[in-house]
A and B are shown apart, each in its own frame.
Chain A
């Protein structure tokens, strides 16, 4: 009896030691071993940034861009030393950006059509006013419009350009914040689940034992 009591105290001491060792590390925002990729649209350019969880950038990781609707492969590229890769919008469609970082690491990011449209990123807008582009670009209006309307269109374009530039960091930050982050809640929740499962195992064990001891 004395011995079991003693060993329990030792076990409690061990647990305490473990938690003392682990807690300061927990308190730092560490996210490990997952590759992250996120992308944002700025005008007619899509920027991507890839990093390993933990913050290290992915150097020369492989980026493949697909049309998310048709699944067609649009272009391929490699990240630079900062983990960045940018490309011109290949077409006006939702994009799926796939990042393969080697060693079994892979992730993807979807750029929805609404985001591309909101950024003014129609393919036509980049190459000088291609015909057939009818949605809200001012091009067709210019043809048969008065001077005032032309001015309005120009102003609109100029404002859009400046806004793109000014908002780019904000859009980037929003995209970045949409990534999954490991929080302290996740960690504590996971430990709780494990403790609960161990408790359940012990409970079942004891129920069986009690039934064995007084069979009725």
Chain B
């Protein structure tokens, strides 16, 4: 879901960059001391997760892990994902420098939304908590696909067509991410429940 250079039009790139800048500002403000280390670890996980290839489905897809980053960082996910995406662009040539803003919005907006939607529930030790944890992973990939399709639509491709393509390709990823997120949350609840605190 990294959009390559030279596909999107100027206005889309600019508004993506502006949104990403605002989000980064809010995120940096919310990152206090103990969250800096957390953001670093999560940014590194996200950076590496893109190399984990999911060989199911019609296209080439990989893990995203933006949901768990959002759940643990809230707005702080925006700068963390921005840094990870920048390094993915420079080192792996995924995405690009001009599309960095748009790609940050694609990854970070669902992360922040998942934090507010499911964050209060994901702590609970019962079935609702487990469902919320699964949905964090599942829905953030889904939303990323929708935003990516919207960005491509603004540059001329048919929204439903692209959205269908992207979402169909990512169904296996959504499920796998849901399960990965569920296990992460269950593990954290046991060893470090304070990480899941919703502020």
Contacts and interface: CB of A to CB of B under 8 A. Distances in A.
Interface of A: 7, 10-11, 13-15, 17-18, 22, 25-26, 30-35, 52-54, 56, 100, 102-107, 180, 182, 186-187, 189-191, 193-195, 197-199, 201-202, 205
A14 B183 CA distance: 13
B180 to A, nearest CB: 9
Contacts of B83: 193-194, 197
Nearest 10 interchain pairs by C-beta: A198-B40, A52-B60, A104-B3, A32-B62, A186-B91, A190-B87, A201-B36, A106-B4, A194-B44, A54-B53
Q: How large is the interface on B (under 10, 10 to 19, 20 to 34, 35 or more residues)?
A: 35 or more
B171 interface: no
A137 to B, nearest CB: 37
Q: Most chain-B CB neighbours within 10 Å: which of A15, A25, A32, A105?
A: A32
Contacts of B2: 33-34, 104
Contacts, number: 132
A32 B51 contact: yes
B21 interface: no
Contacts of B91: 182, 186-187, 189-190
B76 to A, nearest CB: 11
Contacts of A187: 48, 51, 91
Main secondary structure of the interface of B (DSSP, over half): helix
Interface string B129-168: 0000000000000000000100110000000001001100
